[in-house]
Amino acid sequence: MKAVVIDAPGQVRVEEMPRPAPGEGEVLVRLRCCGVCGTDLEKIHGHGITTRILGHEEAGEVVELGAGVRGFAAGDRVFAHHHVPCGACELCRRGEETFCPEYPKHNLMPCGLAEYFIVPKYNVERGAVLKLPNGIGFEEASFIEPIACCIRGLNRTNARTARSALIYGAGPVGLLQLKLLRRYGGKTVTIADISDHRLELARKMGADVTFNVSNKTQRSEALSSMPGGPELVILATGSAAAFEDAVQVVAKGGTVLLFGAPKKDAKATIDIARYFLNGTRLVSSYAASEVETREALELLASGAIKVSDMITHRFPLEKSGEAFAVADQQQCMKALITA
């Protein structure tokens, strides 16, 4: 079978390897679709701050069950979450499941970008494998994980009560945040980016105001449309410059959500006195738990969130290198890899 691995900084290789067989409690899945995520790109370039294993926005079909697995059958269409918490430690009891020490230890093997991959027993036992209802295709299902991450991030903020929001980053997760904010209703949503192409897509998807961060006039006009500043600022980018700007422009008593993964060893400078006097609430959000993956699936199944308008490119597994190159150069919105 084919699997995508990191060859050297900036390069991936499609490698031939034996098809794995599921052990006790494991599930073997045949990949049908996997989304390209910005964190995958950072891993490829050597800037990632998590595991080097590629592919976590995947969906496929159950092929074989290991001994003792119940509730699934060959042919089931599923989404499999790559990480799960233990559910029993102090962090899990506090609702901080994605920081559980066990969370990053268990992953799809050899990776989520392989023709066939194993979902480990640990994940299966903790509800990481979700059956897809009729009407949900593999392409839609590949959005479960990023939507779940966005849900978790917004739940950690004032997203449901804020009257205005500013999103830095008009990439896939920025626009998913936009779609969720629209579902919460009653907000003026502004999106900032360095790409005019992506900003145009943001406007088509419902952003009230957009501006290119390199255009001072656009920035000034956009901020003036939110007197006092945005009550919620979402960093759907790992840019240190965007982080610094977010802390400057957020409204008094407002919230800044650090959502986009920063590069390894990234540094930023903020005016601590302003931060203090402004009453700014700074929160971060990493990944998602099974609570959010189930909610994301429900949103897709009910039609509350639609994602087909975000898919701009599709590549077969053997051309994964091209998919990553197109996504890295921001020549697309959402690139999908199919097998």
User: In this model, does residue 165 exceed pLDDT 80?
Assistant: yes
Strand-pair category, 311-316 with 255-258 = unpaired
Six-digit token string for 85: 């918490």
Contact (Cβ atoms closer than 8 angstroms) between residue 112 and residue 57: yes
Q: How far apart are CA 273 and CA 227, in angstroms?
A: 22
- Residue 132, classed as helix, strand or coil, is coil
pLDDT digits (tens, 9 = 90+) for 295-324: 999 999 999 999 999 999 999 999 999 999
Contact (Cβ atoms closer than 8 angstroms) between residue 338 and residue 316: yes
Residue 29: strand pairing partners:
62, 117
User: In this model, does residue 187 exceed pLDDT 90?
Assistant: no
Which of 115-124, 139-148, 204-213, 322-331 is least confident? 322-331
Six-digit token string for 129: 């494998």
User: In this model, does residue 48 exceed pLDDT 80?
Assistant: no
Six-digit token string for 194: 């360095």
Q: What pLDDT sits at residue 77?
A: 98
Say what the pTM is: 0.96
Contact (Cβ atoms closer than 8 angstroms) between residue 61 and residue 29: yes
Cβ neighbourhood burial of 322 (10 Å; 0-12, 13-18, 19+): middle
Contact (Cβ atoms closer than 8 angstroms) between residue 114 and residue 55: yes
CATH architecture of 2-148+287-338: Alpha-Beta Complex (3.90)
Cβ neighbourhood burial of 195 (10 Å; 0-12, 13-18, 19+): middle
Q: What pLDDT sits at residue 94?
A: 97
Q: How far apart are CA 117 and CA 107, in angstroms?
A: 10
User: In this model, does residue 50 exceed pLDDT 80?
Assistant: no
Residue 14: strand pairing partners:
4
Looking up tokens 């991936």 gives 12
- Closest among 77, 93, 63, 34 to 289, alpha carbons compared: 93
Look up the CATH number of domain 157-284. Answer: 3.40.50.720
Integer CA distances (angstroms), 307 to 7, 137, 171, 296, in order: 31, 11, 13, 12
Looking up tokens 């209802």 gives 133
Query: Rounded to the nearest 10 degrees, what angle do helices 144-155 and 172-184 cross at?
Result: 60
Say which amino acid occupies 12.
Answer: V
Sequence ranges of the domains in the chain: 2-148+287-338, 157-284
Six-digit token string for 282: 């700074």
Q: Do domains 2-148+287-338 and 157-284 have the same CATH topology?
A: no
Q: How far apart are CA 101 and CA 46, in angstroms?
A: 23
Average pLDDT, the chain: 95
User: In this model, does residue 11 exceed pLDDT 90?
Assistant: no
- Residue 117, classed as helix, strand or coil, is strand
Residue 188: strand pairing partners:
164
Strand-pair category, 2-8 with 334-338 = unpaired
For the chain, percent helix, then strand, then coil, each to nearest 5?
35, 25, 40
